[in-house]
């Protein structure tokens, strides 16, 4: 009997894991489909990223040496602000049509729902920014040996930005003008990612090691992947119940 109970318990746990994975993929596919249907919201961060980087040389100096020195910080700050631009709409539409309340009150794992929404935000914002960054880096005369470091640092850092930003978006989803409050909440938390991401690119331009910066960015990403979905789920429950 004990053996049968153990087998039953193992099968039940396995079924729950499979169910959670399926719920995660269903939510991720849904959010990606909605994002690509709202092409204006999808393109806004990318256009902002491009316009600010393009206008920067016009506002300061077009000198190649000067732009090459500032390029790591400029690209990272612009990418951070572009990712921040789309956070206000992360949960807003689901909150307004009642979908978010149903998700929070359903039997599905709120952890997996929060994870899926944060990853969908990164796929439609951070990943596209990282893929676009090399072209803009060349325009700012960033040395070619630093461009792979720029892309890797963005690929490691922007998911952390999405996960942290999703916490603030979940806390302010019920507010009419939560965009400013999101900025005030997340920008101090974004600073470590910005420092190590830009420093990695700067070190690459100087021929210095970048492994330590990648390790710290990776550690922050792992910590965010583990802890942020719990905070997002709790924040959503607070916002929906209030």
| pLDDT tens, residue by residue, 34-67 | 888 887 778 888 999 999 999 988 888 888 888 8
Token pair, residue 106, equals 């359903």
Predicted confidence band of residue 126 (pLDDT cuts 50, 70, 90): very high
Q: Is residue 123's pLDDT more than 80?
A: yes
CA 197, 199, 200, 204 torsion-angle sign: positive
What separation in angstroms does the CA of 22 have from each of 26, 145, 227? 6, 41, 21
Low-confidence winner among 48-57, 90-99, 123-132 (lowest mean pLDDT): 90-99
Domains: count for the chain: 1
- As a whole-number percent, the residues of the chain with pLDDT over 90 amount to 45
For residue 53, what are the domain limits?
2-241
Note if the pTM is more than 0.85.
yes
3-state SS class at 177: coil
């Amino acid at each position: 009997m004990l053996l049968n109970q153990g087998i039953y318990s193992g099968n039940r746990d396995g079924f729950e894991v499979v169910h959670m994975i399926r719920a995660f993929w269903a939510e991720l596919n849904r959010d990606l489909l909605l994002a690509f249907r709202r092409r204006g919201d999808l393109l806004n961060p990318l256009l902002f990223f491009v316009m600010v980087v393009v206008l920067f040389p016009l506002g300061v100096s077009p000198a190649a040496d000067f732009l090459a020195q500032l390029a790591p910080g400029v690209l990272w700050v612009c990418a951070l602000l572009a990712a921040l631009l789309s956070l206000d709409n992360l949960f807003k539409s689901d909150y307004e049509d009642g979908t978010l309340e149903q998700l929070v009150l359903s039997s599905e794992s709120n952890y997996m729902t929060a994870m899926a929404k944060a990853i969908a935000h990164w796929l439609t914002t951070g990943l596209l920014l990282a893929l676009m960054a090399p072209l803009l880096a060349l325009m700012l005369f960033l040395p070619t040996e630093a461009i792979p470091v720029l892309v890797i640092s963005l690929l490691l850092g922007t998911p952390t930005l999405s996960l942290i930003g999703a916490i603030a978006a979940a806390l302010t989803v019920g507010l009419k003008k939560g965009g400013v409050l999101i900025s005030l909440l997340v920008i101090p938390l974004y600073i470590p990612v910005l420092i190590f991401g830009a420093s990695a690119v700067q070190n690459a331009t100087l021929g210095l090691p970048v492994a330590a910066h990648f390790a710290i960015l990776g550690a922050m990403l792992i910590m965010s992947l583990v802890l942020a979905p719990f905070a997002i789920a709790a924040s959503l429950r607070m916002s929906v119940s209030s």
